[in-house]
């Protein structure tokens, strides 16, 4: 019996991937190389430092840990400037209505995001009041596909893992949900995220009542 919904942020509730892409691209361009939107797909759901390592690999750049910290901070400065201007109009289709319906149906709601900027994004988009618990990159040490972020969220919600359903747009996140023994709804094109229990294009196509038939 499903008792809680745990939502990933980027790609499920809002599309911040476009801002991540712009900021990482600017950083790569400063270092003298570029990467494609297809490559950017690989950065979805993984942490800031893991993203930087991948990008540096694409550009064949060697950096010290100190240089990497400065580069990540530089990218984050540009990113925060962009997300600081987000509005509720940027909530993805169906997300707000689904959150409201889940809470009205008595389900607990939690956030399980890799982002260290989740509070600012939720505040800017007006989504903050719809969550019982927030767990993000500030509270965990291991990145998805490790299940730590979802397990921590379930613990804080006081709900057994088996009774939680995770909403994810990234393969690493689907694997994390499965490793936590939670149900998983993939958000994206059907055909991708094949290990999710069900894949829907967006939250318009789902009701809380559907969750007990996953
Ligand atoms: P930050 P999610 C993830 O968010 C993004 O998908 C990923 O591209 C990003 O690197 C990660 O957050 C860290 O974000 O730099 O803001 O800490 O999909 O887990 O909500
Ligand atoms: Mg995501």
- Asked if the model's pLDDT at residue 17 lies above 90, the reply is yes
How many domains in the chain?
A: 2
pLDDT digits (tens, 9 = 90+) for 131-148: 999 999 999 999 999 999
Average pLDDT score, the chain: 96
CATH number, domain of 29, equals 1.10.150.240
Which ipTM value was assigned to this complex? 0.94
The verdict on whether residue 116 carries a ligand-binding annotation is yes
- Cα 103 from chain centroid? 20
- Round to whole Å and give the CA distance between 74 and 72: 5
Using CA atoms, how far residue 88 sits from 44, 64, 77, 85, 121, in Å, is 22, 39, 22, 10, 10
Which of 13, 92, 113, 120 for a ligand 1 pocket mutation test, highest count of atoms within 8 Å of Cβ? 113
- Look at residue 7 and give its three-state secondary structure: strand
Same domain, 9 and 27: no
- What is the tens place of the pLDDT at every residue in 161-214? 999 999 999 999 999 999 999 999 999 987 778 899 999 999 998 999 999 999
Q: Are residues 154 and 172 in the same domain?
A: yes
- In this prediction, residues 90-114 reach a mean pLDDT of 98
Pocket test for ligand 1, best of 53, 72, 114 (most atoms within 8 A of CB): 114
Domain that holds residue 142: 4-15+90-213
Q: Is the pLDDT of residue 45 over 90?
A: no
Task: Please report the pLDDT score of residue 192 as a whole number.
Answer: 76
Do 138 and 208 fall within a single domain? Answer: yes
54 is known to lie in a ligand binding site: no
Atom 5 in ligand 1: residue holding the nearest Cα: 45
Are residues 121 and 166 both part of a single domain?
yes
Ligand number nearest to the C-alpha of 52: 1
Whole-number Å distance between alpha carbons of 213 and 99: 18
Residues 131, 60, single domain; the answer is no
Q: CATH code at 118?
A: 3.40.50.1000
Ligand-binding annotation for 51, yes or no, is yes
Token pair of 52, please?
């930087």
């Amino acid at each position: 019996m499903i008792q809680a919904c745990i939502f990933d942020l980027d790609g499920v509730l809002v599309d911040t991937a476009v801002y991540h892409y712009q900021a990482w691209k600017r950083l790569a361009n400063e270092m003298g190389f570029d990467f494609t939107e297809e490559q950017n797909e690989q950065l979805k759901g993984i942490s800031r430092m893991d993203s930087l390592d991948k990008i540096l690999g694409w550009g064949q750049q060697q950096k010290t840990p100190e240089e990497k910290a400065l580069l990540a901070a530089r990218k984050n400065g540009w990113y925060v400037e962009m997300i600081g201007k987000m509005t509720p109009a940027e909530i993805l289709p169906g997300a707000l209505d689904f959150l409201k319906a889940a809470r009205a149906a008595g389900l607990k709601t939690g956030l399980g995001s890799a982002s260290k900027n989740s509070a600012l994004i939720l505040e800017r988009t007006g989504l903050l009041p719809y969550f019982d618990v927030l767990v993000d990159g500030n509270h965990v040490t291991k990145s998805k596909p490790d299940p730590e972020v979802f397990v921590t969220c379930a613990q804080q919600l006081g709900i057994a893992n088996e009774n939680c359903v995770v909403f994810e747009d990234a393969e690493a996140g689907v694997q994390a949900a499965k490793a936590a023994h939670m149900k998983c709804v993939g958000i994206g094109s059907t055909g991708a995220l094949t290990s999710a229990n069900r894949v829907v294009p967006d939250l318009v196509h789902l009701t809380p009542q559907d969750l007990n038939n996953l």
